[in-house]
Amino acid sequence: QELEAAFPELKTPDSPTQRVSSDLTEDFPTVEHLTPMLSLDNSYNEADLVDFDQRIRNYLDLPEDYIIEYCVEPKYDGGSIGLIYENDLFVRGATRGDGYRGEEITPNLRTLHSIPLRAAFSRRGIAKVEIRGEAIMRKDIFEKINKAREEDGLPLFANPRNAATGGLRTKDPNETAERKLDAIIYHIGYAVDQQGNNLLPKLGTHSAAIDFLNELGFIVPIHNENFPERTIFHNINDIVDHCQEWQDHRDDYPYEIDGMVIKVNDIALQNRLGSTAHHPRWAIAFKFKAKQATTKLIKVEFQVGKTGVITPVAKLEPVQLAGVTISSVSLHNEDFIRNKDIRLGDTVLVERAGDVIPYIVKPM
């Protein structure tokens, strides 16, 4: 900083001093994505995945013996982001928003050291590119931050996802930096040369595109034998066992994930399949089952909201569920309690719906 202050001509857009801005952001302007950041269709079992495979074959009029190559990766549970690079420089970052427009949060994303301020896309002749990923907090970082907040008497974050998404929209980029977020990149949605020609087909496959991003210094789902975050399959039936294995060991993974994403690997086939207004036809999410645990209802406390609404809150014997200690769960209202016949001293079944919000399913 002292050197750049003395010699301003040495300051460059990718300088480490440009990561954290001293300016506060009063609002986040709405910007359009270069291509839509759509949602994913969901699947929950083998039959759903077989149906997905058949829909692809029907849409493309492929014979039954045609081998479709699929790429399978974790479905990260954080805040979706879109990053634009022009002439190798990071120029804009935005939230997913409604899929077509999001909020520009470039100053905050610059604080993430996993987002290179310069990346050599020009190696492949790419002049402008939009890549997609997830801003996400490691579980161990989440625990440390919550412990520090508890010691300071501050409200605790409910889960890593809330901590990450909230960190993306802080008015002070220094606060974003303190969250120690990672950006995991999993898709190239737009890539053109200086003349505006589409270069995505030249990347060949989705997996090859992700390998290229890895070469450029981005964190991506790694494809290797020792720990295959990204795995290639040639038979849709083999994918279910793989997804189940990830579901069984998800607590061992350093990040929160709520499923797996199955993508047609061939970019040419992706282009032929296209998208609906809601989701790409060439990808689907395999959603993990909600996690459940049993514990004892000790007492009920009542919280008064700002508008005067009184909400009963169940105080439980602390129980570990999906990597988080659950000790309080909303009982919503009197009807909820009566309909489920919840009583003091009950052993109750607790579920984290969507792995985020604790919920009492029923007394046991």
Q: Which one-letter amino acid corresponds to residue 158?
A: A
* DSSP run (H or E) holding 6: helix 2-6
Longest distance between any two alpha carbons in the chain, whole Å: 72
User: How many CA atoms, within 13 angstroms, populate the side-chain half-sphere of residue 125?
Assistant: 12
3-state secondary structure of 262: strand
Closest by CA to 185, choosing from 294, 78, 345, 31, is 78
E strands present in 193-264: 231-233, 257-264
Task: Report the amino acid identity of residue 194.
Answer: Q
At 55, list the tokens.
Answer: 């829909």
In a 13 Å sphere around the CA of 126, the CA atoms on its Cβ side amount to 28
Q: Which of 11, 75, 289, 296 is catalytic?
A: 75
Q: Please tell me whether residue 72 adopts helix, strand or coil conformation.
A: strand
CA nearest neighbour of 264 among 74, 132, 68, 75: 68
Please indicate whether residue 128 is annotated as part of the active site. no
How many CA atoms lie within 13 Å of 34's alpha carbon, on the beta-carbon side? Answer: 20
Six-digit token pair at 47?
């039959």
Q: Give 65's Cβ-side CA count (13 Å radius).
A: 0
Residues classed as catalytic? 75
